[in-house]
Amino acid sequence: MINALPSPVQHRLEQTLAQWRQWQCQPALSEAPKAVGILGGGISNFTILVEQESRFVVRIDGLTPATNGLNRQVEWHALAAAHTAGIAPRPLYFNPELGSLVCDFLPPDETQEQCIQDIAMLLRGIHKLPARHHRLDLGERIRRYEKQLEHREEPLPGALAACTDRVLLLLEQATQPDKPVLCHNDLLRANRLYSGGKLWALDWEYCAMGSPWYDLAVVVSGDDLDQEHTAQLLHAYLGHAPAAPEWKMLWIYSALYRYIELLWYLALQKCPPEEDFIPDKIVALEIVLARIDKAP
């Protein structure tokens, strides 16, 4: 086993590996896989590379899924559909009691330079997947993180608190689609991988029905795309040059995303050590709000 893992996480990893006969591998495994390395972890989950005839990825929950409003059953079925569509790794096993999920390992290509067109096509593929019985409620997510902060009696930083009323007004203006689509809701660069010459979507734990504008906002904000690359992404996704109302909707959802992202870091106490991390994130939120003010 891997000594760097916390003891409870290592214990759940051992239990997951012991269930290897239930993994939906093709062909079936002949013996238990062994852990060979840690791929990532520490914020919400721990991701471990394991090997036996083939390589697999085991994810162990670091936080109770309910803390972030996650639905593991929805994630499992969405992953299966996304794999069938050729945009996600194959899910092999999951056990909510152990907080574990096993998927095929996708070997990364040597170059991971992101292509705007590929990202747009990946988003279009995600939004064509079958509907699931789980909807993203941005207002509820904001309230959840605010309550966690209130429980610890931690006020918002002054500059962020000054944005709160404005963000809540934008929440009312955010257009809700008549027919919501399945969204990834966390398609950051860390959750996109080139393998075998194509772009895949990883880590589907936040997937839920909602507005495609939020998915677009996650990419634009998370990648810090400039105006030119943002326009390219919208054009590739929409199939036409974005009109003024479409730009405004993107900025509204970008503001909501940046506000929720800040609350997430503060509520879960997962801020990076850099002193300017939160102030810089607040400035980015203020810039988006200014764009909305200038929008026609």
Domain borders along the chain are: 7-104, 116-294
- C-alpha dihedral sign at 13, 15, 21, 24: negative
Give the contacts of 179 (CB within 8 A, at least 6 positions apart).
Answer: none
- The predicted pLDDT at position 62 comes to 83
- The predicted pLDDT at position 258 comes to 98
- The predicted pLDDT at position 10 comes to 92
Q: Which residues of the chain have pLDDT under 50?
A: none
Model-level pTM? 0.94
Query: Going by CATH, does the domain composed of 116-294 fall within 3.90.1200.10?
Result: yes
Tell me whether residue 183 is exposed, middle or buried, using C-beta atoms within 10 angstroms of its C-beta: 0 to 12, 13 to 18, 19 or more.
buried
- The predicted pLDDT at position 43 comes to 66
- Rounded-to-integer distance, Cα 66 and Cα 72, Å: 10
- The predicted pLDDT at position 164 comes to 96
As a whole number, the mean pLDDT across the chain is: 93
Judge whether 7-104 and 116-294 match in fold.
no
Give the contacts of 261 (CB within 8 A, at least 6 positions apart).
Answer: 221, 281
- The predicted pLDDT at position 295 comes to 77
- At 236, which helix (H) or strand (E)? helix 227-238
The strand order across the sheet containing 54-61 reads 34-41, 45-52, 54-61, 100-104, 91-95
CATH topology of domain 7-104: Phosphorylase Kinase; domain 1 (3.30.200)
- The predicted pLDDT at position 44 comes to 78
Question: Token digits for 48?
Answer: 């471990």
- The predicted pLDDT at position 1 comes to 57
- The predicted pLDDT at position 275 comes to 83
